[in-house]
Amino acid sequence: MDNRFNKVFLFFSPFNYEFLLENKLIDIFFNHFSFHYLNRKNNHNIKSYLLKLNSITLQVSSDSHSIIVVTNASIKNQIATLISHVHIHNRPVIKTTHYTVNIISTKVELFVIRYSINKATCLSNVKYIFVIMDSIHAAKKIFDLSSHPYQIYLVVISSKLREFFQKDSNNSIKFLGLSQ
């Protein structure tokens, strides 16, 4: 019997370490992450959201332990463009643009989140990550352990976040984005 695929299929097993109830990222590190979103239908919400973004920008520019990640993904004519900007202490660290074809929007969003989190967590002395994105629904999928076609992204992102949260009990990540 050929066992070379057993390692790949283990990722998708409901008994995988990442998916066991006592190891869920959302349960272990519940106070290390948060979601803030803008409801575009209310002008008061827009103003308070912009004030929050200004506050975060000022915090990141004055704190060497904070990092801001701005992501955007769009699809036009079946070509996806993914952009990630990473800034730390008021200076750009990484700017990346990816292009791909024949991909759905959720997969694009999850890929750009995965890529950005990988880059942000690899930088030394980072304690606070702020991810600003155009859609918050994709970020919430990271913590959804039900079976869905994006589990491979979930496993990679949650393992990176698990390592990041275990480095220091004060480490945190905040997702800011638009509601659906």
Position 8 scores a pLDDT of 46
CATH code: domain 30-178 is 3.30.420.10
68 vs 108, higher pLDDT: 68
3 vs 123, higher pLDDT: 123
Q: What is the pTM of this model?
A: 0.76
- Name the nearest CA neighbour of 163 among 111, 116, 118, 114: 118
Position 45 scores a pLDDT of 75
- pLDDT tens-digit series, residues 138-152: 777 777 666 567 777
- Where do the structural domains in the chain lie, given as residue ranges? 30-178
**What is the bridge-based pairing of β-strands 128-132 and 66-76?**
parallel
Whether 18 has a pLDDT exceeding 60, the answer reads: no
Cα gap 121→69, rounded to integer Å: 11
Cα gap 101→65, rounded to integer Å: 36
Average pLDDT over residues 158-166: 86
Is residue 160 within 8 Å of 171, Cβ to Cβ?
Answer: no
Whether 5 has a pLDDT exceeding 70, the answer reads: no
Average pLDDT over residues 106-133: 84
Cα gap 17→11, rounded to integer Å: 9
Average pLDDT over residues 110-134: 85
